[in-house]
Amino acid sequence: MAVHPKDKRFKKLIGRKVILPIVNKEIEIIGDEMVDMNFGTGVVKITPAHDPADFETGKRHGLRLDYKVIDKNGFMTEEAGIFAGQDVLTARENIVELLKSKGNLVKVEPYTHKVGYCSRGGCRVESIVSTQWFVKSSELAKKVITGYKKGEFEIVPERFEKTFEDWIYNLRDWCVSRQLWWGHQIPAYYDVKTQELLTVSLDEEAVFAKYGKENVYRDADVLDTWFSSALWPFSVLDWTPENPWELFKKFYPAQVLETGYDILFFWVIRMLLMGYEYTGQTPFKTIYLHGLILTEDGKKMSKSVGNVIDPLDVIEQYSTDALRLTCSIGNTPGNNLSFSLRDVENNSVFLNKIWNVVRFVHANIGEVTDDYSLLRAKMENNWTSFLPHEQWILSRLKSTIDNVTNGMERFNFSDAWQDLVAFTRDEFADFFIEEYKLTKTTTENGRDVLAFTLLSLLKLWHPYIPFATEELYGIVTNGNKEDSKKEWSSNEDWEAKRGVQDKVYDERASEIWVWNSSFRDSSSLMDSEWASLSIVRNKKIEADTLVLFEAIRTIRNIRATKGVKPGELVDMAILAPKKSLDILKENEIIFLGLAKIKEMIITKNKLDDPSIAYAVTGDIELFITIPVNEANTEEEKKRLKEQIENRKEYLRAQDLKLLNADFVRNAPEKIVRIEQDKRAQAADQLKKLEEKFNSLI
């Protein structure tokens, strides 16, 4: 029995003995700080042979460690006296009856306790001391700790360094023997008669020659699977202590290990232990720990619970790339991801958009026969002489390449994806391709800019959606001329030829096109160089183009709100300062074409005609002539009122930020000034919107 040595109730009893009434045997009372004085009676039983914590306590106090009352089959041993041979549950009931009959039982009450159960058989797990093989991990850890302190490997994200340190600095002996049928059998040999360990050897024939085959038997246990897995980084490279071989010299240590944070201890630390012990080096330079994929409601997936989603079913319905993309984005490094089929469906739809974008580009510019590096050199050497919108897309592409590359190198795949999808959808597809349509007869470099941007996008998207981008790259570059058919075929042909493994379309979409070709071994995107562009971004053109696009978006929103047909042209007047007017005039063809405007009329006065829809973006006031009636006038007032409320809400948020003394004091002066300018512009917009609203009352 154990009590806390500082427990005033019992410390005087330490060293004395009590009688265990079950078997009428004396047992000693010991004092140990592991006892919680405030839990239960403050007195706990110690059974070193049946509890890991009690085993450690027994070692500290020199208790007998092999006093087993339960055998490996779940029956009571001879040490259990009159209960020997009974199963555990029967013995428990009989012990209670015995205590009752002796008058030793005080009371019986329900008690909630943490009890281990087998996940497969559903039965209770009883701990039993046994003879096993151990690795003295604390000794092996010394080399790992030295390498860690020297920075020979890093852990991403950094917050897991604390978890790693908690483990590596407190390693206990590692039990590596398992009583299983499958695994690496332990090469230990025993005397048949005495069961004495004779030797540990990898040369079984030498053991038989020395002791006689009939006189020895091999240990039936196998190594812990994590022990075997820990050898993987160098064992797969033909490594031997005598000769590491060329594969080991070339590929060891690995650059990156990618695995789940839940096996940082079980696998990663064990690989580090073995790697440093046998090779003297870390097995990998970077350890990237990803999160777990959970159910949509944030629970861990489990086959026994029945909430597992079969990835093959998801691939069958949506495609490999849609599933891969869903699992790669939506969270930060090391965090768990709640998996939703809605996200897979949305990503599948977005893949269709990419597919159709490439289809359009291919239809307009044909196959890109120039090498990527040659196109890049042309962009880098001549881009400042291109049309403004061509300079803009290259400047934005430069920003996107840098952001995605940095995100990849920092393992921040989700942030990199956000930049990539914004550029692909909002800038390349929605604006630049439309601009190319309007200027392709007058531009000298538009085709090359479009081709280079498209190839760069396919490279940037490749880590996320490898099947689709590989196929599309082959289409655009005509990677295998013998197998390529110069036609876009329906999804039925694609399904028959390619199967579901790299399906990239949504079966429910109304108009989907794919390329019908076999896999190309040559001109592989996977083997090509990463996207790059060595230019200095033109932030002035980016800012000017943003003014243009905001005006176009605003007009498009008004047209949609008013129910104007997509192809119908409308009249429009603009009231704006010279700087903004110059931007619109310089891009007049694009502005009129994308906004579907008949003519851009410059006015110096506000127009108060009730048939005119009003909007303000930045310092530009837009007056769009749309046939209206009394009902539409009320609709216009409602629309303006919503914009007024939005501006007021934005101003309230800006005021809170700018009135925050900590923000003003700690933020860079440039940032504070930008926020002040935003507030001033929003206040000016609010004033103009209110004036227009009041004119309609």
What are the structural domain ranges in the chain?
2-102, 134-186+221-290, 338-515, 565-695
Strand partners, 254: 284
Distance CA 165, CA 155 (A): 11
Distance CA 155, CA 166 (A): 14
Which tokens is 291 given?
A: 């999160």
Distance CA 379, CA 446 (A): 11
Confidence label for 673 from pLDDT (cuts 50, 70 and 90):
confident
Tell me the residue type at 33. E
Residue 496 above 70 pLDDT? no
3-class secondary structure, 248 = helix
Distance CA 15, CA 36 (A): 19
Which tokens is 202 given?
A: 């990898």
Please list, in sequence order, all residues whose beta carbon lies within 8 angstroms of the beta carbon of residue 5, skipping any fewer than 6 positions away: 11, 14, 31, 32, 33
Q: Other CB atoms closer than 10 Å to residue 64's CB: what's the count?
A: 8
Question: Which residue from 317, 315, 314, 311 is spatially nearest to 506, judged by alpha carbons?
Answer: 317
User: Which residue shows structure tokens 């978006």?
Assistant: 553
The model's pLDDT over 356-404, given as tens digits with 9 standing for 90+, comes to: 999 889 988 888 888 899 999 999 999 999 999 999 999 999 999 999 9
Distance CA 113, CA 111 (A): 6
In this predicted structure, what is the pLDDT of residue 300?
A: 87
With both helix axes pointing from N to C terminus, report the angle between 270-279 and 137-149 in degrees, rounded to the nearest 10.
80
In this predicted structure, what is the pLDDT of residue 479?
A: 61
In this predicted structure, what is the pLDDT of residue 513?
A: 38
Which fold is adopted by the domain 338-515? Isoleucyl-tRNA Synthetase; Domain 1 (1.10.730)
Helix/strand number for the chain, H first, E second = 25, 22
Alpha helix segments (H runs only) across 462-538:
466-477, 491-498
Distance CA 640, CA 661 (A): 34
Residue spans of beta strands (DSSP E) within 102-243:
134-135, 154-156, 174-175, 177-178, 188-191, 197-200, 216-218, 222-223
pTM for the full predicted model: 0.74
In this predicted structure, what is the pLDDT of residue 3?
A: 94
Decide if domain 2-102 falls under CATH 2.120.10.30: no
Q: Which helix (H) or strand (E) holds 388?
A: helix 388-409
Q: Other CB atoms closer than 10 Å to residue 35's CB: what's the count?
A: 22
The model's pLDDT over 126-161, given as tens digits with 9 standing for 90+, comes to: 889 999 999 999 999 999 999 999 999 999 999 999
In this predicted structure, what is the pLDDT of residue 686?
A: 83
Q: Other CB atoms closer than 10 Å to residue 162's CB: what's the count?
A: 9
Q: Other CB atoms closer than 10 Å to residue 240's CB: what's the count?
A: 11
Q: How far is residue 580 from each of residues 526, 547, 603, 686, measured CA to CA in Å?
A: 44, 7, 13, 19
Distance CA 473, CA 465 (A): 12
Q: Other CB atoms closer than 10 Å to residue 254's CB: what's the count?
A: 15
Confidence label for 212 from pLDDT (cuts 50, 70 and 90):
very high
